[in-house]
Structure formats: structure tokens, C-alpha cells
Amino acid sequence: MIHLDSNFLIRASVAGTDESRLLRRWLSDGEHLGTSAVAWAEFLCGPVSDEAASSAATLVGEPEPLDASAATAAARLFNETGRRRGSLSDCMIAASAVQAGAQLATADVADFRRFEPLGLSLVGRKAKN
């Protein structure tokens, strides 16, 4: 399973991008795709067209909710990676992927590398696959 981060979803909706090509490959390979509720909310904050939002919803299905267990895991990621201002949403996205046993596809690999020693697996063009 691969969870898609908001920035990956945005870039994948643009034909010809690396993210669009990766998404097409995963779909042809039958890869199961999903996203967290946090990444989904970020994606919908846009700007995103109704058509792009509808297409993305079909791709990822129901977003993975941030339950108490994922919230606790996100707080642990936040505290163990330096309590960086503005990074809590990244911690929640990473925790949701880890809890779902999913790899995370993001266009901002550098923002998520710090979570790899804590169980996050990244996938995509700039990640170590």
C-alpha cells in the first residue's frame, strides 16, 4: 500500500510530471493507494478543481482517519524529531502511513526523511526504493 501526500496528489494531477508518471505506473501495477485524512484536508485546501478532487477521491478512497493511536504516534514523531514548528501535520501524515503499514509518496522527501529511522518508508522518485 502507498499513501499519497497532499503535494504528491497535487503534482500527480498535472500531466507530464514525475508524480503523474509514477501514479500511472502504480495503477498499472495494481498498487493499492490511499491517503491520510490530514493529507486529504491539505489537498482540498487547494487550489484544486472539483474535477481533480473527484478524480483523487476515486483513486484514494476513504482517507485514513487520525484516531487516538495515530495521534499518539504523531506526537511521538514530533517530540523525537526536534519539535519543529509547522511540522505537526507532517508528523500526522507520517504516523498515519506507518500505522496503515503503507509507504509514503511525497514530493517533499526532505521533509519526511527524519521519520525513516522511526518506521516511515518513503517511495517515489527521490526516495530510496
- Rounded to whole angstroms, how far apart are CA atoms 119 and 114? 10
Q: Write down the pTM of the prediction.
A: 0.93
**Domain holding 37: CATH number?**
3.40.50.1010
**pLDDT-derived band at 129, boundaries 50, 70, 90:** low
Per residue in 29-60, pLDDT tens? Answer: 999 999 999 999 999 998 888 999 999 999 99
Work out the number of other CB atoms within 10 angstroms of the CB of residue 51: 9
**pLDDT-derived band at 18, boundaries 50, 70, 90:** very high
Amino acid at 77: L
For 86, what's the count of Cα atoms within 13 Å in the CB-facing half-sphere?
A: 1
Position 33 in a domain: yes
Position 20 in a domain: yes
pLDDT at 11 over 80: yes
Position 128 in a domain: no
- Please give the residue range of the domain that contains residue 25: 2-123
Per residue in 56-99, pLDDT tens? Answer: 999 999 999 999 999 999 999 999 999 988 899 999 999 999 99
